[in-house]
């Protein structure tokens, strides 16, 4: 049974998150983003503690996408991201979340731990250039990406550069 109240709150929070990040991309204004992320992380922790992973069965497909987005942006709490990854794995196995979300969060957790990513989804910007974070076994990257429903690394790289460097 879909919980409309949770889905509505996820939508509101994801909208606030994206507006703040778009403002940052357009103007460089970072103010307030940390507070938004901290508030979203605290709220999502409580939701997961009470309901488990907010997958499609609980909050609909859009709500599940928005829950994943909020976890992706919980970088200031890598322990929570790691815990959420375990919930997400179970949800994917149960058909209650998208496998591509698992790829992105797996990479986010690995990079946060100082390890090479598996799917090549995480980039960094040193102020001069946008670069993918190190990848484990780059020769087989596109094969791994394909198993997760992702486009090729070259296609993704092109989209990332267009989005983040104009």
Question: How much is the average pLDDT of 56-83?
Answer: 97
pLDDT of residue 163 exceeding 90: no
| Residues shown for the chain | 166
The predicted structure's pLDDT at residue 58: 98
pLDDT of residue 137 exceeding 70: yes
pLDDT of residue 166 exceeding 70: no
Strand, coil or helix: 147: helix
**Separation between Cα atoms, residue 18 and residue 87, nearest integer Å:** 24
Question: For the whole model, what pTM was predicted?
Answer: 0.92
Question: How much is the average pLDDT of 117-125?
Answer: 96
pLDDT of residue 114 exceeding 90: yes
What are the tens digits of pLDDT across the range 27-45? 878 788 999 999 999 999 9
Q: How far apart are the first and last CA of the chain?
A: 42
pLDDT of residue 135 exceeding 80: yes
The predicted structure's pLDDT at residue 28: 78
Query: CA torsion angle for 52, 92, 162, 77 (degrees, to 10)?
Result: 30
């Amino acid at each position: 049974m879909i919980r409309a109240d949770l889905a509505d709150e996820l939508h509101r929070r994801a909208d606030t998150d994206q507006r703040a990040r778009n403002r940052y991309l357009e103007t460089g204004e970072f103010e307030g983003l940390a507070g938004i992320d901290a508030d979203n992380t605290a709220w999502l922790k409580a939701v997961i503690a009470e309901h488990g992973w907010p997958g499609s069965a609980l909050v609909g497909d859009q709500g599940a996408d928005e829950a994943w987005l909020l976890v992706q942006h919980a970088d200031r709490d890598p322990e929570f991201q790691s815990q959420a990854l375990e919930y997400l794995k179970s949800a994917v196995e149960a058909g209650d979340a998208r496998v591509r979300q698992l790829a992105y969060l797996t990479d986010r957790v690995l990079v946060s731990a100082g390890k090479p990513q598996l799917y090549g989804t995480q980039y960094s910007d040193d102020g001069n250039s946008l670069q993918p974070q190190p990848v484990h076994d780059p020769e087989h990257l596109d094969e791994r990406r394909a198993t997760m429903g992702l486009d090729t690394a070259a296609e993704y790289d092109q989209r990332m550069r267009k989005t983040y460097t104009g």
